[in-house]
C-alpha cells in the first residue's frame, strides 16, 4: 500500500469515526443508540485496521460492535418490560 | 505526513471527547448516559493509536514480516487493548446499576431521581 | 440549575477545552512520525523473547502487571455485576416459555455455533504469533455461545452453559495469572518474570510464559463474558416481581423526620 | 523467602489471590469460614506492607515487575517505587480494609449477594487497587489500578440493591470517576506523544530534556492527567459525586471510601506533580501553587458550609470529608516538604476518626433503621457507649490534643503559614465547623438536647429517614465488634498523636517524597541516588499546634451548643440574621441536584478553569 492511498484511507476512516460517534451521542433513544454504537464500533475497527492495529481492531469488533450494544439492548429490554407492566 | 493529516487524528479525538461530554451533560436517559460514556472513551483509543502511528510502518507482528521492517508503535496498541477491556467492564457494571435503578425508582429519567440533593 | 444554565455553562467550558486541546495538538509531533523510542525498545525486547506478536509480548510479558490489573478489573466487574443483578428479596424467578424457532434459523445457528467456537479457540491459541489473543478469542467464544440463544431458545442456552463451572473457571484463570507471577519468584527472579524456556521463534509454544498467560486470559475472558451476558439475560428474561416490575413505585418514599 | 524488592508486587498480588480464593471458596464455606479467611488475608497484607515500610526506611524500594530492569537508563517494563509516603498510605489502606472486614463480620448478619464470599472478595480487590495505585511508578499502570479501585467501589456502593438511593449514588460515582479516568488517559496519550515514555520518572526526565518548558501541550497534559485524581479527591467542583455515594454506601464501605480512597486522590495529585511535572520541563511551582490552593480553599469552605446544613448523618460526614480533603490539598499545595509531612500525619489520623464516625453511624442504622438527625432525637440514650465514642470522634475531628489530627493539623499549619499567613485560620475554622456539626448530632441524638425540629421547609435536602436497614435480622444484642472496631480506630487516631517519632518519620518521608532527582535516579539508574539528608526535626506538639487544636475544639463545642440550645433563647434579630445566612447558602445547596448531567457540566467547567488558571500563571 503506498503512502497516498494510506492517507486517503486514514482520512476517510477518521471522518467516518467522528460522524459515527456523533450519531451515537445524538441517538437519544437507547435501542437506536445501541445500533449507532455498533456502527461506531465498526468505524473504529476499520480505523484501527487502517492504522496497522489488527489486534485492536479485532478487540473493538468483538467488544464495540457485539458485546456493548448487546448489553445495552438487554438493559433496554429489561427496562421496557418493567414499563409495560406499569401500565 | 503533513498538511491536514498532521493534526486531523488529534482533532477527531478531541471532537469525540467533546461530543461524549455533551451527550453526558444533556442525557435524559440513564442507559443513554452509559452509552455516551463509552463514546467519550473511544476518544482515548483514537488519540493513542494516532500517537503511535508511523507512516509506512506495518503491524507489529513478525509472523509474516521480516524482522527489521519498520512497524507502528506496539506499546500504544497494547495500552488500547487494556483500555477496551476496562471500558467494556465499566459499561457492564454501570448498566447493571441502571437495571436496578429502573426496578427501585421506576424510571431511568435522571430528572425524576430526586432523592439525593442539598 | 436549569437546563439552559447547564447548557450555557457547559458550552463555555467546552469552548475553552476545545481551544486548549487545539493548542496542545499544535505541540504534538505530526501524525505518522518516525520517532517511537518505547515502541522500538518493545520490539527489540519481544524478538529477544522469541515472541512474534509484539503486542502479546507487551501485554503478557513486558507490561504484564498492567494486564494483571486489567484482568482483575474484569474479574471484579463480573463479581460485581453478579452481585448487583442477584435476585432481590422481593423478586422471583419465572420460567421463560419455550420459543418457536424457524428451522432455517436453527440450521444457521447449528452450523455457525461450532465455527465460531473453533475460530475463538484458534484466535486464543495463536495470540503470541498472529493478531488476536486471549482477550479477542475469549470474547468471540463467549458471544459465539450465545448463538445458541438465537438458534434455539433460552432453555437450550442454559443447558450448554453451566454457570457455576464457568464462574469457577473465571476465578481459577484469574488466580492462575496471579500465581504464574510467582513462578519468577520461585526461580529466583522477580514477580511475573518470564523465566520459562523461550522455544523457537514462530512456533506455537514460543515466548516462554506468554502463551500460558495468554491462555489463562482467554479462559478468564471467555467465562467472564459468558457469565456477564448470562446475568443480563437472566434479568431480561427470567427475573420479575420487584417493585419496578409490579407497578407500585417505592421511589417517593416518605420522609422519616 | 522474598527479598525486599519483591514486596511491592506481592502486596498487590496477595489480596488479588485472596479475592479469587474467597470468590470460589465462598460457594461452599460457611459465613464464619469466609470471614476468618478474609481477615487472615487482610492481616497478611498488613504484615507485608508493614515489612515494606520498615525495610524501605528513608530510601526507596524499587521493583521492576517481570525483571525488566533498565538498560542504559531505559526499560520496557513497569516499575513500582515504594517510598515511605507511598508504602505508608498503602499500609493505611490495608489497615482500614482489615477494620472493615472485622466490622462487616457482624454487620451484615445475612450473607447477601449470592454467597458469603462476595463481599470480602470485593473488599480485597479494592485493597489491591488502592495498594497498586499507591506503589506504582508508571502513569498507565496508575490508570489501571485507579480503574480497579473505581470498579470495585461502584459495585460496593450499590451493594444494597433493595434500597433505591445507593444505586443512584453508585451510578453518579461510576460515571464521574470513569469519565475522569478517561480524561486522564488522554493526558497520558499527550505525554506519551511528547516524550515516548510512560513511567513517572522517565516522563519527567524526558520533559526536562526536551527543553520546551511549559507550553500548551504540557499544561493541557498536566490538567488532563490530574483530572482522575482530582475527581477521586472530590475537590470542588469535581466533588458532587462524593456525598451522593458516601451517604448511601454500606457503612463498612464508607469507612474505606472516606478514610483512605479519597485521600489517595490527593496522594495521586502530589505524586504526579512531584515526579512528572516539578522539573524545569514541567509546570512552574508559581503556577501550581495558587491554582491548587484556590481549589483547596474553595473545597474546604464549600465542604464546611454544606456539612453544617445536613441532617442525614452519613451525608454530613461525607461533606466533612470534602472539607478535610480541602485542607489536605492545602497542605500539599504549598509545595513544602514540612507541610506535606504534617498533612500525611493528618491523613493517617483522620482515617481513624472518620472511619470510627462512619462505623458508629452504622450502629444507629443497625438499631433504628435511620440516620436522620432530627428523627433520631434523643433515641441514642439507650446506647451510651456509642454516644461517648461518637463524641470522642467529633473532638478528634476538631483536632483536640493529643489526637493525631491535632498534631498533623498543627504541623501543616506551622509550615503553610510561611507561604500564606491566613492558612492556619482556614484550618482552624474548617475543622471547627465540621466538628461542630458532628458534635451537634451527638448532642441531639444521644443526649436529646434541644428540640427535635430541624430545617426549613422548601430546602433542597436529603433526609436520613426511611433507609432500608442494612441488616435484616431479628432484634439482637449489639455485637461487640460494632463498638470495638470504632474504638480501635479512635485509639489509632490517638496513637498517631502520642507515639513519639511519628512526626519525625513522616517529616523525613515527605523530604524523600519531594526529592525529585532522587526519585528519578532511583528509578532509572539504581544505586546512584544519594540519600536525602535529614532536616531539622519538626517541633512535636509545638505550643502553636496545641493552641490551635484547643481553639478549634472550643469553637466546635461553642458552635454545637449554639445550634442546639440557642434557637429558643435568642432575640428576634439574631434569628433573622440566622435566617438570612441560611437563605444565603440555599443556592449552594441547590447546586447539589443529584443529576449526573449537572455533575458532568461542572467537571467540564473545573477542567476549563484549571486550564485557564495554570495557563495564565505559568
pLDDT tens-digit map of D160-213: 888 888 899 999 999 999 999 999 999 999 999 999 999 999 999 999 998 888
* Interface touch C25/B82, C-beta < 8 Å: no
pLDDT by residue (tens digit) across D33-88? 888 999 999 999 999 999 999 999 888 999 999 888 888 878 899 999 999 999 99
Q: Tell me the DSSP string of D122-139.
A: HHHHHHHHHHHHHHB-BH
Residues D95 and D155 reside in one and the same domain: no
* CATH assignment at residue B41: 1.10.287.3510
Q: Tell me the DSSP string of D412-442.
A: HHHHHTTT-TTHHHHHHHHHHHHHHHHHHHH
* Interface touch D182/B40, C-beta < 8 Å: yes
Residue D464 domain-assigned? no
pLDDT by residue (tens digit) across C181-209? 888 888 777 888 888 888 877 777 777 88
Residues D132 and D142 reside in one and the same domain: no
| Chain C neighbors of A55, CB-CB under 8 A | 53, 55, 131-133, 136
pLDDT by residue (tens digit) across C134-151? 888 888 888 888 776 766
Q: CA-CA distance, D461 to D312, in Å (whole number)?
A: 9
Average pLDDT, chain C: 81
pLDDT, position B106: 86
* Interface touch B16/A21, C-beta < 8 Å: yes
Highest mean pLDDT range out of B78-87, C41-50, D162-171, D448-457?
B78-87
- Higher-confidence position of C171 and C113: C171
> Distance between the two ends of chain A, CA-based, in angstroms?
59
pLDDT above 70 coverage of chain A, percent: 91
pLDDT, position B72: 92
Residue B90 domain-assigned? yes
Res. B103 pLDDT band, cuts 50 70 90:
confident
Range of the domain at D131: 1-136
- Higher-confidence position of D302 and A84: D302
The residue written with cell numbers 437472566 in the block is C234
Interface-testing mutation among B39, B52, B97, with chain A (most A C-beta atoms within 10 A): B39
* Interface touch C139/A66, C-beta < 8 Å: yes
Residue C117 has pLDDT above 70, yes or no: yes
Residue B28 domain-assigned? yes
Of C53, C132, C235, the CB nearest to A78: C235
D459-496 in b/e burial notation, b at 16+ Cβ within 10 A? Answer: bbbbbbbbbbebbeeeeeeebebbbebbbbbbebbbbb
pLDDT, position D316: 95
pLDDT, position C249: 35
Residue C96 has pLDDT above 70, yes or no: no
Residues D129 and D242 reside in one and the same domain: no
pLDDT, position C203: 74
* Interface touch A62/C233, C-beta < 8 Å: no
Residues D193 and D68 reside in one and the same domain: no
Across residues B9-34, what is the average pLDDT? 95
pLDDT, position C247: 37
Cβ atoms C129, C52 nearer than 8 A = yes
Based on the structure, what is the number of domains in chain B? 1
Res. C243 pLDDT band, cuts 50 70 90:
low
pLDDT, position C251: 34
Pull the grid cell for residue D25. 471458596
C window 91-120, beta carbon within 8 A of D = none
Of B27, B93, B110, the CB nearest to D151: B93
Range of the domain at B103: 4-58+65-112
D163–chain B Cβ distance below 8 A for any pair: yes
Pull the grid cell for residue D320. 466533612
Chains near B with 3+ CB pairs less than 8 A apart are A, C, D
The residue written with cell numbers 489488527 in the block is A54
Cβ atoms B70, A18 nearer than 8 A = no
The residue written with cell numbers 436496578 in the block is B100
Residue D466 domain-assigned? no
Count, in order, helices (H) and strands (E) of chain C.
11, 2
Q: Is the dihedral of CA D520, D524, D530, D535 positive or negative?
A: positive
Residues D332 and D417 reside in one and the same domain: yes
* Interface touch B27/D597, C-beta < 8 Å: yes
User: Nearest CA of chain D to the CA of B76: how many Å?
Assistant: 9
Residues D430 and D570 reside in one and the same domain: yes
Complex confidence, ipTM: 0.94
pLDDT by residue (tens digit) across D281-296? 999 999 999 999 999 9
Interface-testing mutation among B16, B103, B111, with chain C (most C C-beta atoms within 10 A): B103
Question: Which helix (DSSP H) or strand (DSSP E) does residue D232 occupy?
Answer: helix D216-233
Residue C170 has pLDDT above 60, yes or no: yes
Chains near A with 3+ CB pairs less than 8 A apart are B, C
Q: Is the pair D, A in contact (3+ CB pairs within 8 Å)?
A: no
pLDDT by residue (tens digit) across A20-41? 999 999 999 999 999 999 999 9
Among D108, D136, D164, which residue terminates a domain?
A: D136
Residues D280 and D191 reside in one and the same domain: yes
Based on the structure, what is the number of domains in chain D? 2
Residue B35 domain-assigned? yes
pLDDT by residue (tens digit) across D487-520? 999 999 999 999 988 999 999 999 999 999 999 9
For chain D, list residues with pLDDT below 50. 474
Across residues C66-93, what is the average pLDDT? 88
Residue C154 has pLDDT above 80, yes or no: no
pLDDT, position C244: 47
pLDDT, position D231: 96
User: Nearest CA of chain B to the CA of D2: how many Å?
Assistant: 29
Torsion, CA D46, CA D51, CA D57, CA D59, rounded to 10: -90
Residues D12 and D160 reside in one and the same domain: no
Among D93, D116, D136, which residue terminates a domain?
A: D136
The residue written with cell numbers 455485637 in the block is D479
Q: Is the dihedral of CA C47, C50, C53, C56 positive or negative?
A: negative
Among D136, D162, D191, which residue terminates a domain?
A: D136
Q: CA-CA distance, D301 to D324, in Å (whole number)?
A: 10
D168–chain B Cβ distance below 8 A for any pair: yes
Residue C255 has pLDDT above 90, yes or no: no
Residue D197 domain-assigned? yes
| Chain A neighbors of B85, CB-CB under 8 A | 59, 63
pTM (two decimals): 0.94
C225–chain A Cβ distance below 8 A for any pair: yes
Where are chain A's structural domains? 3-86
Residue D31 domain-assigned? yes
pLDDT, position C253: 32
Residue B117 domain-assigned? no
How do beta strands D79-82 and D61-64 pair?
antiparallel
Amino acid at each position: 500500500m503506498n503512502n497516498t492511498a494510506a492517507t486517503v484511507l486514514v482520512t476517510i476512516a477518521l471522518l467516518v469515526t467522528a460522524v459515527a460517534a456523533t450519531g451515537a451521542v445524538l441517538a437519544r433513544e437507547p435501542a437506536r443508540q445501541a445500533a449507532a454504537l455498533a456502527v461506531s464500533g465498526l468505524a473504529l475497527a476499520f480505523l484501527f485496521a487502517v492504522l496497522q492495529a489488527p489486534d485492536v481492531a479485532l478487540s473493538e469488533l468483538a467488544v464495540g460492535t457485539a458485546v456493548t450494544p448487546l448489553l445495552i439492548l438487554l438493559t433496554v429490554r429489561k427496562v421496557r418490560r418493567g414499563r409495560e407492566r406499569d401500565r | 505526513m503533513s498538511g491536514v493529516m498532521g493534526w486531523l487524528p488529534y482533532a477527531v479525538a478531541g471532537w469525540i471527547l467533546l461530543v461524549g461530554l455533551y451527550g453526558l451533560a444533556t442525557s435524559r436517559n440513564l442507559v443513554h448516559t452509559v452509552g455516551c460514556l463509552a463514546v467519550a472513551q473511544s476518544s482515548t483509543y483514537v488519540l493513542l493509536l494516532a500517537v503511535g502511528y508511523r507512516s509506512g510502518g506495518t503491524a507489529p507482528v513478525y509472523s509474516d514480516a521480516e524482522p527489521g521492517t519498520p512497524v507502528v508503535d506496539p506499546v500504544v496498541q497494547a495500552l488500547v487493548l487494556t483500555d477496551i477491556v476496562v471500558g467494556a467492564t465499566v459499561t457492564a457494571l454501570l448498566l447493571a446499576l441502571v437495571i436496578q435503578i429502573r426496578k427501585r425508582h421506576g424510571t431511568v429519567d435522571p430528572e425524576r431521581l430526586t432523592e439525593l440533593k442539598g | 440549575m436549569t437546563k439552559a444554565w447547564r447548557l450555557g455553562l457547559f458550552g463555555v467550558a467546552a469552548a475553552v477545552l476545545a481551544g486548549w486541546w487545539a493548542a496542545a495538538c499544535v505541540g504534538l509531533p505530526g501524525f505518522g512520525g518516525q520517532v517511537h523510542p518505547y515502541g522500538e525498545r518493545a520490539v527489540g525486547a519481544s524478538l529477544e523473547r522469541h515472541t512474534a506478536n509484539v503486542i502479546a509480548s507487551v501485554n503478557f510479558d513486558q507490561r504484564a502487571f498492567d494486564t494483571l490489573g486489567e484482568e482483575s478489573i474484569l474479574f471484579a466487574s463480573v463479581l460485581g455485576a453478579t452481585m448487583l443483578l442477584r435476585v432481590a428479596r422481593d423478586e422471583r424467578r419465572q420460567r421463560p416459555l419455550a420459543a418457536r424457532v424457524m428451522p432455517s434459523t436453527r440450521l444457521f445457528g447449528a452450523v455457525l455455533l461450532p465455527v465460531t467456537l473453533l475460530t475463538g479457540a484458534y484466535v486464543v491459541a495463536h495470540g503470541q504469533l498472529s493478531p488476536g489473543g486471549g482477550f479477542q478469542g475469549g470474547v468471540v467464544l463467549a458471544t459465539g455461545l450465545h448463538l445458541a440463544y438465537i438458534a434455539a431458545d433460552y432453555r437450550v442456552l442454559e443447558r450448554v452453559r453451566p454457570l457455576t463451572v464457568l464462574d469457577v473457571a473465571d476465578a481459577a484463570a484469574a488466580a492462575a495469572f496471579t500465581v504464574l507471577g510467582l513462578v519468577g519468584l520461585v526461580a529466583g527472579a522477580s514477580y511475573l518474570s518470564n523465566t520459562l524456556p523461550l522455544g523457537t521463534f514462530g512456533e506455537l509454544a514460543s515466548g516462554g510464559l506468554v502463551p500460558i498467560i495468554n491462555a489463562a486470559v482467554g479462559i478468564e475472558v471467555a467465562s467472564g463474558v459468558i457469565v456477564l451476558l448470562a446475568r443480563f439475560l437472566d434479568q431480561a428474561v427470567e427475573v420479575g416481581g420487584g417493585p419496578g416490575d409490579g407497578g407500585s413505585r417505592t421511589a417517593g418514599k416518605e420522609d422519616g423526620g | 523467602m522474598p527479598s525486599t524488592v519483591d514486596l511491592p508486587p506481592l502486596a498487590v498480588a496477595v489480596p488479588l489471590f485472596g479475592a479469587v480464593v474467597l470468590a470460589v471458596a465462598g460457594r461452599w464455606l460457611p459465613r464464619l469460614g469466609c470471614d476468618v479467611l478474609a481477615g487472615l488475608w487482610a492481616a497478611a497484607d498488613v504484615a507485608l506492607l508493614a515489612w515494606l515500610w520498615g525495610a524501605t526506611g528513608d530510601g526507596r524500594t524499587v521493583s521492576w515487575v517481570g525483571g525488566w530492569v533498565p538498560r542504559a537508563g531505559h526499560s520496557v517494563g513497569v516499575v513500582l517505587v515504594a517510598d515511605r509516603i507511598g508504602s505508608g498510605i498503602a499500609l493505611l489502606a490495608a489497615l482500614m480494609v482489615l477494620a472493615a472486614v472485622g466490622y462487616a463480620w457482624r454487620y451484615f448478619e445475612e450473607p447477601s449477594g449470592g454467597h458469603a464470599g462476595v463481599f470480602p472478595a470485593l473488599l480485597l480487590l479494592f485493597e489491591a487497587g488502592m495498594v497498586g495505585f499507591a506503589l506504582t511508578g508508571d502513569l498507565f499502570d496508575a490508570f489501571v489500578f485507579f480503574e480497579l479501585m473505581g470498579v470495585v467501589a461502584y459495585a460496593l456502593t450499590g451493594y444494597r440493591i433493595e434500597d433505591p438511593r445507593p444505586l443512584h449514588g453508585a451510578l453518579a460515582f461510576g460515571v464521574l470517576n470513569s469519565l475522569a479516568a478517561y480524561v486522564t488517559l488522554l493526558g497520558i496519550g499527550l505525554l506519551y506523544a511528547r516524550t515516548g515514555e510512560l513511567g513517572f520518572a522517565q516522563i519527567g526526565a524526558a520533559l526536562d530534556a526536551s527543553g520546551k518548558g511549559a507550553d500548551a501541550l504540557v499544561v493541557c497534559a498536566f490538567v488532563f492527567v490530574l483530572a482522575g485524581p482530582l475527581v477521586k479527591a472530590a475537590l470542588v467542583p469535581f466533588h458532587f459525586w462524593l456525598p451522593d455515594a458516601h451517604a448511601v454506601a454500606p457503612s463498612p464501605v464508607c469507612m474505606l471510601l472516606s478514610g483512605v480512597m479519597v485521600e489517595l486522590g490527593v496522594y495521586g495529585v502530589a505524586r504526579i506533580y512531584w515526579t512528572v511535572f516539578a522539573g524545569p520541563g514541567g509546570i512552574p511551582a508559581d503556577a501550581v501553587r495558587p491554582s491548587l490552593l484556590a481549589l483547596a480553599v474553595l473545597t474546604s469552605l464549600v465542604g464546611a458550609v454544606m456539612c453544617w446544613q445536613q441532617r442525614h448523618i452519613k451525608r454530613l460526614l461525607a461533606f466533612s470529608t470534602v472539607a478535610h480533603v480541602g485542607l489536605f490539598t492545602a497542605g500539599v499545595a504549598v509545595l513544602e516538604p514540612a507541610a506535606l509531612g504534617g498533612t500525611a500525619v493528618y491523613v493517617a489520623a483522620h482515617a481513624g476518626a472518620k472511619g470510627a464516625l462512619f462505623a458508629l453511624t452504622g450502629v444507629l442504622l443497625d438499631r433504628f433503621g435511620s440516620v436522620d438527625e432530627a428523627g433520631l432525637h434523643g433515641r441514642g440514650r439507650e446506647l451510651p457507649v456509642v454516644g461517648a465514642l461518637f463524641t470522642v470522634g467529633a473532638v478528634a475531628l476538631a483536632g483536640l490534643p493529643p489526637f493525631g489530627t491535632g498534631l498533623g493539623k498543627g504541623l501543616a499549619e506551622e509550615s503553610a503559614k510561611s507561604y500564606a499567613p491566613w492558612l492556619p485560620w482556614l484550618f482552624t475554622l474548617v475543622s471547627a465547623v465540621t466538628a461542630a456539626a458532628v458534635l451537634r448530632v451527638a448532642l441531639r441524638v444521644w443526649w436529646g438536647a434541644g428540640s427535635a425540629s430541624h430545617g426549613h421547609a422548601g430546602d433542597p435536602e436529603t433526609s436520613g429517614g426511611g433507609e432500608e436497614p442494612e441488616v435484616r435480622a431479628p432484634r439482637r444484642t449489639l455485637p461487640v465488634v460494632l463498638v470495638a472496631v470504632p474504638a480501635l480506630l479512635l485509639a489509632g487516631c490517638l496513637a498517631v498523636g502520642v507515639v513519639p517519632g511519628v512526626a519525625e518519620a513522616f517529616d523525613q518521608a515527605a523530604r524523600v517524597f519531594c526529592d525529585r532527582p532522587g526519585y528519578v535516579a532511583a528509578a532509572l539508574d539504581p544505586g546512584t541516588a544519594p540519600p536525602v539528608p535529614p532536616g531539622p526535626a519538626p517541633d512535636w506538639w509545638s505550643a502553636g499546634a496545641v493552641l490551635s487544636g484547643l481553639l478549634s475544639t472550643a469553637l466546635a463545642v461553642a458552635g454545637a451548643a449554639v445550634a442546639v440550645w440557642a434557637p429558643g433563647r435568642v432575640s428576634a434579630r439574631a434569628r433573622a440574621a440566622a435566617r438570612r445566612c441560611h437563605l444565603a447558602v440555599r443556592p449552594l445547596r441547590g447546586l447539589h441536584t443529584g443529576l449526573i448531567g449537572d455533575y458532568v457540566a461542572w467537571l467540564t467547567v473545573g477542567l476549563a478553569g484549571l486550564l485557564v488558571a495554570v495557563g495564565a500563571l505559568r
